[in-house]
Amino acid sequence: MSKILFVMTGADHWTLADGTKHPTGFWAEEAVTPYEAFKAAGHEIVVATPGGVVPTVDKGSLAPEVNGGQEGADRIAATLASIAEIKNPIRLEDVNLDDYDAVFYPGGHGPMEDLAVNATSGRLLIDTLDSGKPLGVVCHAPAALLAAEKSDGSNAFAGYRAAAFTNAEETQAGLAERAKWLLQTRLEEAGVDVQVGEPWAPNVVVDRNLVTGQNPSSSAPLAAELLKKLG
């Protein structure tokens, strides 16, 4: 049995270019689907957030239209409600990487608000990358990679191939024009080789110990890749 650290956003909003606070948090499927896969394989999960705040689910991620209908939405909501680890997070500041076998970052717009500029998370990402332990990051969570700056100011993930929520998807979701910045653009500016797949279709990229997914539908195949790396 391995111990997997889920690093989740503590934000309940995303500040748009005009200062509006767009309600958000983590995306349900991106936490629930990997959680179920890891637990089914017998692994232990610990959730950490900045300051140890209980993470907020993006209400939009519980809607029937993004869960294949009402039945799917009900199942996601019920599973989410049953996950004790999400209700009892530890403080990200207290995490010791030596205690874990893998690290996973679920998305949602929340990471754009807090993890993108969180130095503690940035150091954890660099340490995980250097350790060779499996590191999974999905959808908007690659925003956290922007905080992984080395002492020389370069990004630790520069030169890595990765998937992340694309500019096309943000545009189709209706928020690109209102955003302060776009994830794909910022990652590319940091030197990350963003591998763009079809909008909303599963797209998982594996580069060394980094496993990334483009969107919510990538969370299940990403979890499968992480399980392969855990053996």
> Average pLDDT, stretch 109-121?
98
pLDDT > 90? residue 55:
yes
Average pLDDT, the chain: 98
The per-residue pLDDT for range 209-227, each reduced to its tens digit, is: 999 999 999 999 999 999 9
Helix (H) or strand (E) holding 225: helix 219-230
How does DSSP classify residue 26?
Answer: B
pLDDT > 90? residue 231:
no
> Average pLDDT, stretch 121-136?
98
Q: Name the burial class of residue 123, with classes exposed (0-12), middle (13-18) and buried (19+) by CB atoms within 10 angstroms of its CB.
A: middle
Look-up of token digits 């029937």: 64
Helix (H) or strand (E) holding 73: helix 70-82
Beta bridge mates, 23: 13
> Average pLDDT, stretch 178-195?
98
**Pairing mode, strands 102-105 and 3-7:** parallel
> Would the pTM of this model clear 0.85, i.e. be above it?
yes
Query: Can you state the percent helix, strand and coil of the chain, rounding each to 5?
Result: 45, 20, 35
How does DSSP classify residue 87?
Answer: H
Q: Are 20 and 119 a contacting pair, CB within 8 Å?
A: no
Quote the CA–CA distance of 201 and 96 in Å, as a whole number: 35
The per-residue pLDDT for range 147-177, each reduced to its tens digit, is: 999 999 999 999 999 999 999 999 999 999 9
pLDDT > 90? residue 34:
yes
